Structure 1
Amino acid sequence: MGQAAMGHPAGDRAARSCRAALVVEDDRNLRDLAAAVLEETDLQVIEADSGEEALQHLRAHAEEIALVFTDVRLPCLIDGVDLARAVSTRWPWIKVVVTSGGLGDRLDHLPAAATYLPKPWRALDVLIAAERAAAAPG
């Protein structure tokens, strides 16, 4: 897949004036669905297909990110739990929503501030989480 910022552009709005949602999911169909749901909010959507790609984007643009929406199971070494823990430690103002379709996906290792949504998640639950993130100071 491509770069983390290859997601869905927000037209002519300058990136600095936007708050964004970073969707981290290796399943293209689920990533597209989550992006489509999040595009209904005031958040710009950025996509990544691995934890490493997400962290690379966060290192450069964390001040723009309001929400990280991530699956637990991701390719490479950094899974969604590791990503949630890194975000909560390094960028505590960023809301984190973690999804998983399987029991025993290290969910007991999630940081207290992370929100868990079981798969299959409902669009309404994603929208509620995104609206909370967009409304939060940051």
Structure 2
Amino acid sequence: MGNVGNRKICVVKDDPFLRLECVSLLEEAGLPVAGFASPERALAFFDRHAEDICLVVAELSYPNELTGLQLAQQVAAKWPWINVVAVSESRPDSQISENVIVMTKPWLPTELLAHAFRASRGEG
């Protein structure tokens, strides 16, 4: 695994404006960030750079073949050191995984930043 302080936060959102908003918020806080338009593109990046990632922020419901829930489950199973913040309209019926936190809409920027800073320090 890479140096925790330099590990990236990956934002996975299909809406380009919301993705840019999240990426900008995290970058302005001094955190290294990468944005992805689809879970498939994000997974391809994770396969090559998982050791450099500390947090994934993704929508649970996604209009693609691979849903945000499936993305969260795959990340949790394959790369257990990567934390996931899953954004959703409502809480799922059961816990997805120990390293997946569900953040319901509407969420506050400070809530996302708190999760991001914890993950960037390796605190999970």
Q: TM-score with structure 1 length normalisation? A: 0.78
- Alignment partners' CA distance in 2, 1:46 and 1:131: 15
Match of 1:43 among 13, 31, 38: 31
Q: TM-score with structure 2 length normalisation? A: 0.87
* Alignment correspondent of 1:111: 97
Q: CA RMSD in A?
A: 2.0
- Alignment partners' CA distance in 1, 2:38 and 2:50: 16
CA contact (8 A) 1:99 1:117 kept: yes
Name the SS for the 1:108 alignment partner: coil
Percent sequence identity over matched residues? 34
Name the SS for the 1:68 alignment partner: strand
- Alignment partners' CA distance in 1, 2:93 and 2:8: 25
**Residues 90 and 69 of structure 1: CA distance in aligned 2, closer, same or farther (over 3 Å):** same
**Residues 79 and 120 of structure 1: CA distance in aligned 2, closer, same or farther (over 3 Å):** same
* Alignment correspondent of 1:20: 8
Deviation at 1:122, TM superposition (A): 0.6
Deviation at 1:116, TM superposition (A): 0.8
CA contact (8 A) 1:42 1:134 kept: no
* Alignment correspondent of 1:126: 112
Matches within 5 A, 1:31-110: 31-101=19-89, 103=90, 106=92, 108=94, 110=96
- Alignment partners' CA distance in 1, 2:83 and 2:99: 8
2:53 is aligned with what amino acid? I
Deviation at 1:41, TM superposition (A): 3.5
1:133 is aligned with what amino acid? A
Q: Write out per-residue CA displacement over residues 30-78 of structure 1, whole angstroms, 9 at most, x where no aligned residue.
A: 1111111111344311011111111011001111111100011223211
Deviation at 1:18, TM superposition (A): 2.8
- Alignment partners' CA distance in 2, 1:24 and 1:109: 20
Q: Which structure 2 residue ranges, 5 or more long, are not aligned? A: none
CA contact (8 A) 1:50 1:76 kept: yes
Deviation at 1:111, TM superposition (A): 1.4
**Residues 131 and 107 of structure 1: CA distance in aligned 2, closer, same or farther (over 3 Å):** farther
Q: Which structure 1 residue ranges, 5 or more long, are not aligned? A: 1-16
